[in-house]
Amino acid sequence: MKKSPAKSKRLGRLATRDNLLEALGRVLVRDGFSAVGVNAVAREAGVDKVLIYRYFGGMQELLAAFGQRENLWPDLIELTAGDPTGFARLPARDKACLLARNFLQALRNRPVAREILAWELVERNELTSALGAARDRTALQILSMLQPSAGEDALKVDMEAAQAVLTAAASYLVLHCGRTMRFAGLEANGDDGWMRIGQTIDGMLLGLLSFA
Protein backbone atom coordinates (compact mmCIF):
# COMPACT_ATOMS: atom_id res chain seq x y z
CA MET A 1 0.00 0.00 0.00
CA LYS A 2 1.45 3.34 -1.05
CA LYS A 3 1.99 6.07 1.48
CA SER A 4 -0.04 9.22 0.99
CA PRO A 5 1.91 12.30 -0.15
CA ALA A 6 1.22 13.96 3.20
CA LYS A 7 2.53 10.96 5.15
CA SER A 8 5.61 10.65 2.93
CA LYS A 9 6.33 14.34 3.47
CA ARG A 10 5.97 13.98 7.24
CA LEU A 11 8.29 10.97 7.30
CA GLY A 12 10.79 12.85 5.16
CA ARG A 13 10.65 15.78 7.54
CA LEU A 14 11.25 13.52 10.55
CA ALA A 15 14.13 11.80 8.79
CA THR A 16 15.74 15.17 8.00
CA ARG A 17 15.36 16.33 11.60
CA ASP A 18 16.91 13.11 12.88
CA ASN A 19 19.74 13.42 10.37
CA LEU A 20 20.55 16.92 11.58
CA LEU A 21 20.42 15.90 15.24
CA GLU A 22 22.71 12.94 14.63
CA ALA A 23 25.07 15.17 12.66
CA LEU A 24 25.25 17.62 15.57
CA GLY A 25 26.24 14.78 17.89
CA ARG A 26 28.96 13.56 15.53
CA VAL A 27 30.46 17.03 15.11
CA LEU A 28 30.42 17.56 18.86
CA VAL A 29 32.20 14.28 19.64
CA ARG A 30 34.70 14.38 16.77
CA ASP A 31 35.61 18.07 16.64
CA GLY A 32 34.56 19.49 20.01
CA PHE A 33 32.12 22.19 21.00
CA SER A 34 34.10 24.99 19.34
CA ALA A 35 33.37 23.44 15.93
CA VAL A 36 29.59 23.30 16.37
CA GLY A 37 27.78 25.73 14.09
CA VAL A 38 25.16 25.88 11.37
CA ASN A 39 27.63 25.32 8.53
CA ALA A 40 29.46 22.44 10.22
CA VAL A 41 26.27 20.59 11.15
CA ALA A 42 24.72 21.05 7.72
CA ARG A 43 27.92 19.86 6.05
CA GLU A 44 28.08 16.81 8.31
CA ALA A 45 24.43 16.01 7.54
CA GLY A 46 24.96 16.49 3.81
CA VAL A 47 22.16 19.04 3.49
CA ASP A 48 21.76 22.75 2.89
CA LYS A 49 21.98 24.81 6.05
CA VAL A 50 18.61 26.38 5.22
CA LEU A 51 17.03 23.14 6.47
CA ILE A 52 18.26 23.87 9.99
CA TYR A 53 16.23 27.08 9.93
CA ARG A 54 13.28 25.41 8.22
CA TYR A 55 12.96 22.51 10.63
CA PHE A 56 14.30 24.00 13.85
CA GLY A 57 14.31 27.78 13.48
CA GLY A 58 18.04 28.17 14.08
CA MET A 59 21.06 26.82 15.92
CA GLN A 60 19.78 27.47 19.44
CA GLU A 61 16.57 25.59 18.69
CA LEU A 62 18.57 22.71 17.20
CA LEU A 63 20.67 22.59 20.38
CA ALA A 64 17.49 22.59 22.49
CA ALA A 65 16.03 19.70 20.49
CA PHE A 66 19.25 17.75 20.87
CA GLY A 67 19.17 18.38 24.61
CA GLN A 68 15.71 16.83 24.86
CA ARG A 69 16.87 13.52 23.42
CA GLU A 70 16.87 10.56 25.76
CA ASN A 71 20.05 9.14 27.27
CA LEU A 72 21.89 12.44 27.27
CA TRP A 73 22.64 11.98 30.96
CA PRO A 74 22.49 8.75 33.02
CA ASP A 75 19.16 8.27 34.75
CA LEU A 76 18.32 6.48 37.99
CA ILE A 77 17.57 3.19 36.22
CA GLU A 78 21.09 3.08 34.82
CA LEU A 79 22.74 4.29 38.00
CA THR A 80 21.02 1.57 40.05
CA ALA A 81 21.96 -1.16 37.54
CA GLY A 82 18.35 -1.47 36.40
CA ASP A 83 16.95 -2.30 39.85
CA PRO A 84 15.86 0.78 41.83
CA THR A 85 13.71 -1.35 44.15
CA GLY A 86 16.55 -3.69 45.08
CA PHE A 87 18.90 -0.74 45.34
CA ALA A 88 16.61 0.95 47.86
CA ARG A 89 17.01 -2.00 50.23
CA LEU A 90 20.81 -1.81 50.32
CA PRO A 91 22.71 -0.27 53.24
CA ALA A 92 23.49 3.42 52.69
CA ARG A 93 27.23 2.74 52.30
CA ASP A 94 26.62 0.19 49.53
CA LYS A 95 24.21 2.56 47.79
CA ALA A 96 26.75 5.39 47.75
CA CYS A 97 29.55 3.20 46.35
CA LEU A 98 27.35 1.60 43.71
CA LEU A 99 26.05 4.96 42.52
CA ALA A 100 29.55 6.42 42.31
CA ARG A 101 30.89 3.48 40.30
CA ASN A 102 27.92 3.39 37.95
CA PHE A 103 28.09 7.14 37.40
CA LEU A 104 31.77 6.95 36.51
CA GLN A 105 31.12 4.19 33.97
CA ALA A 106 28.05 5.93 32.55
CA LEU A 107 30.00 9.11 31.91
CA ARG A 108 32.84 7.18 30.28
CA ASN A 109 30.24 5.70 27.92
CA ARG A 110 28.85 9.12 26.95
CA PRO A 111 31.24 11.07 24.71
CA VAL A 112 28.47 13.55 23.84
CA ALA A 113 27.78 14.31 27.51
CA ARG A 114 31.49 14.81 28.11
CA GLU A 115 31.73 17.37 25.32
CA ILE A 116 28.67 19.19 26.63
CA LEU A 117 30.22 19.28 30.09
CA ALA A 118 33.34 20.85 28.60
CA TRP A 119 31.15 23.33 26.72
CA GLU A 120 29.30 24.21 29.91
CA LEU A 121 32.57 25.45 31.43
CA VAL A 122 32.87 28.24 28.88
CA GLU A 123 29.35 28.94 27.63
CA ARG A 124 25.72 28.60 28.58
CA ASN A 125 23.35 27.66 25.77
CA GLU A 126 20.26 25.54 25.18
CA LEU A 127 22.26 22.31 25.15
CA THR A 128 24.34 22.95 28.26
CA SER A 129 21.19 24.12 30.06
CA ALA A 130 19.40 20.91 29.09
CA LEU A 131 22.28 18.82 30.42
CA GLY A 132 22.32 20.83 33.64
CA ALA A 133 18.60 20.32 34.12
CA ALA A 134 18.92 16.56 33.55
CA ARG A 135 21.85 16.43 35.97
CA ASP A 136 19.90 18.30 38.65
CA ARG A 137 16.89 15.99 38.29
CA THR A 138 19.09 12.92 38.65
CA ALA A 139 20.92 14.43 41.64
CA LEU A 140 17.64 14.99 43.47
CA GLN A 141 16.57 11.42 42.77
CA ILE A 142 19.92 10.11 43.99
CA LEU A 143 19.71 12.08 47.23
CA SER A 144 16.27 10.64 47.92
CA MET A 145 17.61 7.12 47.24
CA LEU A 146 20.57 7.59 49.60
CA GLN A 147 18.33 7.74 52.63
CA PRO A 148 19.11 4.97 55.13
CA SER A 149 17.21 1.72 54.69
CA ALA A 150 14.82 0.41 57.36
CA GLY A 151 16.64 -0.17 60.65
CA GLU A 152 19.64 2.01 59.77
CA ASP A 153 20.58 5.10 61.73
CA ALA A 154 20.19 8.47 60.02
CA LEU A 155 23.30 9.68 58.22
CA LYS A 156 25.25 12.49 59.85
CA VAL A 157 27.12 13.33 56.67
CA ASP A 158 26.14 16.09 54.25
CA MET A 159 25.51 13.73 51.33
CA GLU A 160 24.40 16.56 49.04
CA ALA A 161 27.79 18.22 49.37
CA ALA A 162 29.63 14.89 49.23
CA GLN A 163 27.80 13.91 46.05
CA ALA A 164 28.56 17.28 44.44
CA VAL A 165 32.28 17.01 45.24
CA LEU A 166 32.66 13.42 44.03
CA THR A 167 30.55 13.99 40.92
CA ALA A 168 32.65 17.03 40.03
CA ALA A 169 35.87 15.09 40.59
CA ALA A 170 34.70 12.13 38.50
CA SER A 171 33.46 14.43 35.73
CA TYR A 172 36.75 16.31 35.54
CA LEU A 173 38.81 13.12 35.48
CA VAL A 174 36.70 11.65 32.68
CA LEU A 175 36.93 14.91 30.71
CA HIS A 176 40.68 15.30 31.17
CA CYS A 177 41.65 11.66 30.67
CA GLY A 178 39.40 11.39 27.65
CA ARG A 179 41.87 13.67 25.89
CA THR A 180 45.26 12.94 27.44
CA MET A 181 44.76 9.50 29.09
CA ARG A 182 46.83 10.77 32.03
CA PHE A 183 46.30 13.02 35.02
CA ALA A 184 48.74 13.80 37.86
CA GLY A 185 50.76 10.68 37.03
CA LEU A 186 47.72 8.42 36.87
CA GLU A 187 47.37 6.46 33.64
CA ALA A 188 43.72 6.11 32.65
CA ASN A 189 43.98 4.66 29.18
CA GLY A 190 42.39 1.32 30.07
CA ASP A 191 40.08 -0.43 32.50
CA ASP A 192 42.85 -0.94 35.08
CA GLY A 193 43.31 2.78 35.59
CA TRP A 194 39.59 3.39 35.89
CA MET A 195 39.28 0.47 38.29
CA ARG A 196 41.83 2.18 40.53
CA ILE A 197 39.81 5.39 40.37
CA GLY A 198 36.59 3.54 41.22
CA GLN A 199 38.23 1.75 44.15
CA THR A 200 39.60 5.05 45.44
CA ILE A 201 36.16 6.66 45.27
CA ASP A 202 34.80 3.66 47.19
CA GLY A 203 37.45 4.14 49.85
CA MET A 204 36.70 7.84 50.17
CA LEU A 205 32.99 7.20 50.53
CA LEU A 206 33.44 4.41 53.04
CA GLY A 207 35.79 6.57 55.06
CA LEU A 208 33.34 9.45 54.98
CA LEU A 209 30.37 7.30 55.94
CA SER A 210 32.27 5.62 58.75
CA PHE A 211 31.69 8.85 60.70
CA ALA A 212 27.94 8.77 59.96
Q: What is the pLDDT along the chain (212 residues), one digit of tens a residue?
A: 555 555 455 657 889 999 999 999 999 999 999 999 999 999 999 999 999 999 999 999 999 999 988 788 888 899 998 998 898 888 888 888 898 899 999 998 999 999 999 999 899 999 999 989 988 888 888 888 777 665 566 667 787 888 888 888 888 888 887 777 777 777 776 778 888 888 988 898 888 877 55
Q: Give the dihedral sign, CA 60/14/134/100.
A: negative
Q: Which residues of 79-117 are buried (b: 16+ CB within 10 A; e: fewer)?
A: bbeeeeeebeebebbebbbbbbbbbbbbbbebebbbbbb
Please state, in angstroms and rounded to a whole number, the distance separating the CA atoms of residues 42 and 19.
Answer: 9
pLDDT at 206: 85
Please state, in angstroms and rounded to a whole number, the distance separating the CA atoms of residues 59 and 24.
Answer: 10
pLDDT at 174: 86
- The values of phi and psi at residue 49, to 5°, are -65, -20
pLDDT at 151: 59
Burial (Cβ within 10 Å: 0-12, 13-18, ≥19) of residue 48: exposed
Whether 141 contacts 76, CB under 8 Å: yes
Q: pLDDT tens digits, residue range 121-140? A: 899 999 999 989 988 888 88
What are residue 76's DSSP bridge partners?
none
Whether 195 contacts 141, CB under 8 Å: no
Please state, in angstroms and rounded to a whole number, the distance separating the CA atoms of residues 23 and 85.
Answer: 37
* Architecture of the domain defined by 5-67: Orthogonal Bundle (1.10)
- Would you tell me how many other CB atoms lie within 10 Å of the CB of residue 173? 21
CA dihedral 165, 166, 172, 173 (to 10 degrees): 150
Q: Is the pTM of this model over 0.95?
A: no
Report domain extents, the chain: 5-67, 76-209
pLDDT at 66: 93
Q: pLDDT tens digits, residue range 145-177? A: 777 665 566 667 787 888 888 888 888 888 887
Q: Which of 80, 77, 112, 109 is nearest to 96 (CA)?
A: 80
pLDDT at 153: 65
Please state, in angstroms and rounded to a whole number, the distance separating the CA atoms of residues 125 and 120.
Answer: 8
